[in-house]
Amino acid sequence: MKQLWNSFKIAFSMYSKIPMPKSQWTKENMRYIMCFFPLIGAVIGGLTWLWGSWGMELVQSRLLYVILLVLIPVFVTGGIHLDGLLDTADALNSYQPRERKLEILKDSNAGAFAVITALVYFLLYLGVYSEMTVKSLPVICAGFVLSRAMGAFSIAAFPMAKNTGLAATFSDGAQKTCVKITSLCYAGIVILFMLWYEPVLGICVSTGAALEYWYYYKMSKKEFGGITGDLAGFHMQISELVIAVACVVGEILLRVL
């Protein structure tokens, strides 16, 4: 039980800015860290629900309301997954050999493509959220859990691009079967909730998330030889944007139908 509690604390300490009691980052304590990773998504979803439901009563500007909605995940996580998105953008657009791409992932300097990707990403997110209605809000909130459940599963199941780095450390130290089962349970519960809440939205989001996950796996294996922590962050950021786009598409279909 103590080991699970330590894994919980490390998960939140590493992947969020939420204050946690100190814990030793030993291999044993990090063994189940990915089992608790989707719970950070639950926190983001909860805050998104609160602001999405009540924010317009607190501010008069629709633009400010949407901007804060977009930034909630960044405030909670400190942008750790966004860093993975931008590093991956630089590596992919370098068109260098695999070894050089892996070096670019480790480079702390932001290249031109990272800056361009950040601008495009947030503009797209802002535009998509501007078109979304409150009806999609519960699905959007659940999507933060889904993206992390799928990310945790990839850490335990996908091949690693290298034997160093945080993703490799967590993969080696994890009880892989436990992480896989736990992640699938999170994902299954979320998808069932979406389908129960609104079948059209649930189908659109499930389809979009599945296509993004397929791309994530194929791209990582082809371009990098496997996944890294940065690539997992890339997946979560793209997955959440795809889920938001799928919700808007679902709302359009609901109006047509």
98-146 tens-digit pLDDT: 888 888 888 777 778 889 999 999 999 999 999 999 999 999 999 999 9
CA atoms within 13 A on the CB side of 253: 15
Q: Which domain holds residue 104?
A: 36-250
233: confidence class by pLDDT, cuts 50, 70, 90: very high
For residue 9, being part of any structural domain is answered with no
- Which range scores top for mean pLDDT: 27-31, 33-37, 70-74, 81-85? 70-74
Q: What is the pLDDT of residue 165?
A: 61
Per-position b or e across 54-78, b if 16+ CB within 10 A of its CB: ebeeeeeeeeebbbbbbebbeebbe
Is the separation of the CB atoms in 86 and 117 below 8 Å? yes
Lookup: tokens for 137: 């809000």
Lookup: tokens for 57: 């009563």
CA angle 179, 183, 189 (to 5 degrees): 150
For residue 54, being part of any structural domain is answered with yes
For residue 28, being part of any structural domain is answered with no
Q: For residues 229 and 91, what is the distance between their CA atoms, to the nearest angstrom? A: 14
For residue 23, being part of any structural domain is answered with no
How many domains, in total, are found in the chain? Answer: 1
pTM: 0.93
For residue 135, being part of any structural domain is answered with yes
For residue 142, being part of any structural domain is answered with yes
Q: What is the pLDDT of residue 189?
A: 97
Is the separation of the CB atoms in 201 and 138 below 8 Å? no
For residue 31, being part of any structural domain is answered with no
Range in 47-51, 111-115, 234-238 the model is least confident about:
111-115
Residue 57: partners with Cβ closer than 8 Å, 6 or more residues away: none
For residue 11, being part of any structural domain is answered with no
Question: Can you list the pairs that 189-194 forms with residues at least 24 positions away whose Cβ atoms lie under 8 Å?
Answer: 190/142, 190/143, 190/145, 190/146, 190/149, 191/146, 193/138, 193/142, 194/139, 194/142
Q: For residues 212 and 246, what is the distance between their CA atoms, to the nearest angstrom? A: 11
CA atoms within 13 A on the CB side of 117: 21
